[in-house]
A = this chain, B = another copy of it.
Amino acid sequence: MLDERKLAVLRAVVEDFVNTNEPVGSKALADRHRLGVSPATIRNDMVALEEDGYIAQPHTSAGRVPTDKGYRLFVDRLSSVKPLSAAERRAIESFLSGAVDLDEIVARTVRLLSQLTRQVAIVQYPSLTRSSVQHVELVPLAGQRLMLVVITDTGRVEQRVIDGLGAIDADAVADLRAMLNRATAGLHLGAVPDAVEDLPQQIPPENRAMAISVLSVLLESLVERHEEKIVLAGTANLAAVDFAASLRDVLEALEENMVLIRLLGEAKDPSMLTVRIGAENFHEGLRSTSIVSADYGVGNQSLAKIGVVGPTRMDYPGTMGAVRAVARYVGQILAGQ
């Protein structure tokens, strides 16, 4: 059905359309690519490709444009991830090194990725659930309140203010702090609920209420918002693109963190590059965008995802190369941190 040459034609169509943003015709293809056949032959192939739904004509007597299905085939079989140039690799290293804390690593990463790809970059904060407790801190605040701070080994800090505890006894707080650290230090966050389950029994009754409050806030802070945090950059790059859906819809979708988290999360093959093209995205506003995402982490443990959002008409090999490279470098930085 799809012989070698038809695939070559499809590849050429995708590449030319990505470059020029104009429907590409048989003659232009014959000129710009060494396909070794005449325009008429290419036309016949294009008819076949169109019948199979890989390309389409905006209108009769215009050139062809790849469909989502066409891009899909291109990504799966016709292209290979383009490695970065040496200059780009150096840029990544110099850009990411010298970040002082997790916030800054994430901020620099997202900027870097958007500049490399000239598209919108997304970086998700390292997931809490995969990391483990480094230290738990309880700080008495003014007005009978406590601040709970959880520090993880990925450098992330979760903080909560706990209110309505009544009078606070400094010794009881110190005891509780010591007990919490003894029980949880080094544990994966997922193991924390089990580990603290029967702590209240070990606490003198007069302080038990406080302990229970603190524990419930602790568990909540670990579970509830564990993957919510996401950072964007490069939205200005969208202005240059003309979307089928309105730009407004795209921007709105990008502001909905939950949408982005779901999009990144639905990568089918962990620790690999994932590409979702056009209508493969469940979200209305993103019907005319594609998303390239990857996991990053330390070792072979995935902590979170990064990704790039751009028009379906994007340079897939280049974008995939950039995403993969940045994901690896961030993993290294986090490991060294």
Contact = CB atoms under 8 A, between A and B. Distances in A.
A100 B147 contact: no
26 contacts: A100-B160, A100-B161, A101-B161, A102-B159, A134-B141, A134-B147, A135-B139, A139-B151, A141-B153, A147-B151, A147-B155, A149-B149, A149-B151, A149-B157, A155-B159, A157-B159, A234-B255, A235-B235, A235-B255, A236-B248, A236-B249, A236-B251, A237-B248, A238-B251, A239-B251, A247-B247
Contacts of A155: 147, 159, 161
A249 B240 CA distance: 10
A120 to B, nearest CB: 10
Contacts of A151: 139, 147, 149, 159
Copies in the complex: 2
Nearest to A229: B103
Interface residues of A, number: 35
Contacts of A135: 139, 147
Contacts of A139: 134-135, 137, 151
A294 interface: no
A212 B235 CA distance: 42
B161 A337 contact: yes
B142 A153 contact: yes
Contacts of A255: 233-236
